[in-house]
Structure 1
């Protein structure tokens, strides 16, 4: 008998539990000035943001030759464009003649880039091609006056950008383990089904902090406790240098104190937590029906639970739709794994779907403000992908966009927290053990600031 090779998702079986992580491994006191101080944000700008890889979009946003989009970081502007050779490149968004912006607006398509000030033109590879009345201007070094390049790479369907001209390769920044653990999900094949950006009244790290721990669920999302069993003792963690992954196994609420019918109904109530549930329910119902007796009574055999049935239903449904899930474990059919890619990417992912939260400092420079970017992505076959693909939404009127309930609760809570953080006598935050991923994130931030300051 051929033994099946270990799958990347089996990291969970050897992952660290809370009991195995030292209380002071990453520190538990977080100074509050990092959320409110302009001086601290300037240090982040110079020593973190201008030197790290960050996600600037999805590859699917630039499907054809000449498709471009802009990416803004503080007062810096960049262009991402797909060239004639199919390669996505990045450039500083400024004409080399007098510095005029080349691209305005969020996105577009161009055969070439034309500066509207003096009509200098550049090809899609950034090379200066045309100068107005060139025969009168004297010698111009076109190679030396091409658009300034910016490091760009792609991974898992995302476009990464690094403003640092001496940036290490993206693959090195992410590391082999990140690539190995995420590969079986086939993120690059997923379709964007929600895509919203909005300015918030909080520091960008407040956003990151909020999504790196489940300790707040009881206070902020109490309705979830009626659906999901939360047991921090079962959570497992893996720290991957700058990055991390954590997982709290899913189970329906009161799984140990109620019967099969209640467990099945608990699964049915998970529409917000499992956006793909409507697609999975038909198969789930078929599998549940196989455990009913002639009178309709429901009894599960040994080793069978609503959780295991959900996992099989998800595997059968996704396989039937054409997604290869053979590289994913049964637990990955039902359990969200929470990924943090430093500096500003958080994602929960399970088979067939993921939800992403990112935050960047507000371009106006106020450390008490940021711009968050929330998106959801699902694996969908061709026809459904076209039907559910979402266009980007830029929210310009604060509070006007209606998020789903849990996200709306986070939206409100984060801005309340920033109001509290501005109190001058509050000089530090005290983290508890369940917030270990958050503590790791701040330890990585401190290392980047210290290492960059020494170099």
Structure 2
């Protein structure tokens, strides 16, 4: 049977090197078993073989701008301190006191000159060295001869993000990211700052979250309201080490949407974002995407935004990256969505959905983050780092209509994945990123990575 690629693939725009297709990777047609989505045995092995061996996105560089600034990054059983030292170097340590194992840092963010254990007041400098032991003379010297510094982990930065790895022998970060590093650097995330940060508990396996965010195949069924302004024909590129990207065309209707001509309210919103008065636009919905691209180029020329580094596609569409194992980054010239899917330490049928929006303020009329991001009255100045807004399992996460729909659906998918009647996923070419992701998981589980 010949694949009907016209149903799922689209020419992304004017030819540009950024849009070049990646060399084809054939991940076969195997059907993996469903146990990966719900069994405790798989989750335990996955933690040791995947998460403990990979690079993980811990935080944006913007969260640790000055010496002493720190972020607490929790994932699974572990907690880490990411801190910028007095020498300007960003380091990461296990958030564990070597004396009795107490957590050292309890706040999400802080600025400290040193770490003091809340249990017995042992002190450590920002590099992790022990600098004070309370009542040191009550310890045998032979006891204190043991290593009493913090346990540090690999920590490197790329494209404005801080990565950590629990594996001291992990491959270099540049090799791990491959082409993604250079592509992400175009968005200058290092000059952005967090304007929204939310965490919510979802009743599904973390891989179910990754799966849902790595394809547009479900949009017509779960998010029909998006069909008037997003096209689900996309370009998918697969890269080594489980990485991938997908272009999602905005400001034009899906080919499933009946009315291909009317400039509807959703597209009008995107025209306004680009500085076009919808009431003055006399083209059809088939012409609005190109109009957005041209308007953003004009704005860039007027404000010296440097958009000549972007392809047309990058100006109008969402360029979505999968960063193995558990992150998705939705990139736009004005703002970036960072999604992390954090496994639950005790229950493979739950995960924490962690989402940040990063933005760089430009003082100019009409310039802002895309309206569809739902920032509304959010402070976009960057003067204050917003607190993390948390919601528990079963609570409405308040993430906006589309994401709230995902949070409602994924527990239903998870329940089905646990059924004896489910024999494992069957992925289409629209879901090529999912197969690519799971193939990489299988390589780690088999000890090949």
Give the TM-score band, short-chain normalised. Answer: 0.7 to 0.9
For 1:3, the equivalent position in structure 2 comes to none
Does residue 152 of structure 1 match 2:148? no
| Residues 26 and 443 in structure 1, CA contact (< 8 A), matched pair in contact too | no
The separation in 1 between residues aligned to 2:266 and 2:102, in whole angstroms, is 57
TM-aligned CA deviation for residue 384 of structure 1: 4.5
For 2:369, the equivalent position in structure 1 comes to none
For 2:190, the equivalent position in structure 1 comes to 188
Question: 1:359 and 1:229, CA in 2 relative to 1: closer, same or farther beyond 3 A?
Answer: closer
Q: TM-score, normalised by structure 2?
A: 0.84
Partner SS for 1:241: helix
For 1:12, the equivalent position in structure 2 comes to 19
For 2:348, the equivalent position in structure 1 comes to 367
Gaps of 5+ in 2: 1-13, 364-378
TM-aligned CA deviation for residue 385 of structure 1: 2.8
Give 4+ residue runs of structure 1 displaced > 6 Å after superposition: 254-260
Instruction: Map residues 104-123 of structure 1 onto 2, 5 A cutoff.
Output: 104-123=106-125
The separation in 2 between residues aligned to 1:209 and 1:181, in whole angstroms, is 22
Partner SS for 1:206: helix
| Residues 9 and 181 in structure 1, CA contact (< 8 A), matched pair in contact too | no
Partner SS for 2:276: helix
The separation in 2 between residues aligned to 1:323 and 1:236, in whole angstroms, is 28
TM-aligned CA deviation for residue 107 of structure 1: 2.6
Does residue 179 of structure 1 match 2:181? yes
For 1:263, the equivalent position in structure 2 comes to 263
Cα distance per residue 1:374-397 (max 9 Å; x no partner):
222223237943379643212246
The separation in 2 between residues aligned to 1:427 and 1:330, in whole angstroms, is 42
For 2:357, the equivalent position in structure 1 comes to 376
Partner SS for 1:284: coil
RMSD of aligned alpha carbons:
3.0
Does residue 349 of structure 1 match 2:326? no
| Residues 250 and 336 in structure 1, CA contact (< 8 A), matched pair in contact too | yes
| Residues 253 and 260 in structure 2, CA contact (< 8 A), matched pair in contact too | no
Range with greater deviation from structure 2 (86-95 or 382-391)? 382-391
The separation in 1 between residues aligned to 2:425 and 2:254, in whole angstroms, is 33
| Residues 248 and 319 in structure 2, CA contact (< 8 A), matched pair in contact too | yes
TM-aligned CA deviation for residue 254 of structure 1: 7.2
The separation in 1 between residues aligned to 2:110 and 2:355, in whole angstroms, is 22
Cα distance per residue 1:386-432 (max 9 Å; x no partner):
37964321224642431211111111111111111121232212112
The separation in 1 between residues aligned to 2:139 and 2:36, in whole angstroms, is 50
Query: Which of 87, 90, 93 lines up with 2:89 in the alignment?
Result: 87
For 1:284, the equivalent position in structure 2 comes to 276
Q: TM-score, normalised by structure 1?
A: 0.83
Instruction: Map residues 62-73 of structure 1 onto 2, 5 A cutoff.
Output: 62-73=64-75
TM-aligned CA deviation for residue 52 of structure 1: 0.6
Range with greater deviation from structure 2 (97-106 or 215-224)? 97-106
Partner SS for 1:394: strand
TM-aligned CA deviation for residue 39 of structure 1: 0.5
Cα distance per residue 1:343-374 (max 9 Å; x no partner):
001122122222222111112x2111111112
Question: 1:201 and 1:335, CA in 2 relative to 1: closer, same or farther beyond 3 A?
Answer: same
Partner SS for 1:124: coil
For 2:76, the equivalent position in structure 1 comes to 74
Partner SS for 1:263: coil
| Residues 12 and 236 in structure 1, CA contact (< 8 A), matched pair in contact too | no
The separation in 2 between residues aligned to 1:60 and 1:417, in whole angstroms, is 36
Partner SS for 2:110: strand
For 2:242, the equivalent position in structure 1 comes to 242
User: How many residue pairs are counted as aligned between the two chains?
Assistant: 418
The separation in 2 between residues aligned to 1:264 and 1:426, in whole angstroms, is 40
Cα distance per residue 1:120-172 (max 9 Å; x no partner):
21111111111223355454767932111111111222211111122232222
For 1:207, the equivalent position in structure 2 comes to 209
Gaps of 5+ in 1: 1-6, 271-276, 292-297
For 1:327, the equivalent position in structure 2 comes to 309
Range with greater deviation from structure 2 (399-408 or 99-108)? 99-108
The separation in 2 between residues aligned to 1:115 and 1:389, in whole angstroms, is 25
Partner SS for 1:105: coil
The structure with higher relative contact order (CA 8 Å, sep 6+) is 1
TM-aligned CA deviation for residue 21 of structure 1: 7.1
The separation in 2 between residues aligned to 1:93 and 1:254, in whole angstroms, is 47
Q: Which has the larger radius of gyration?
A: 1
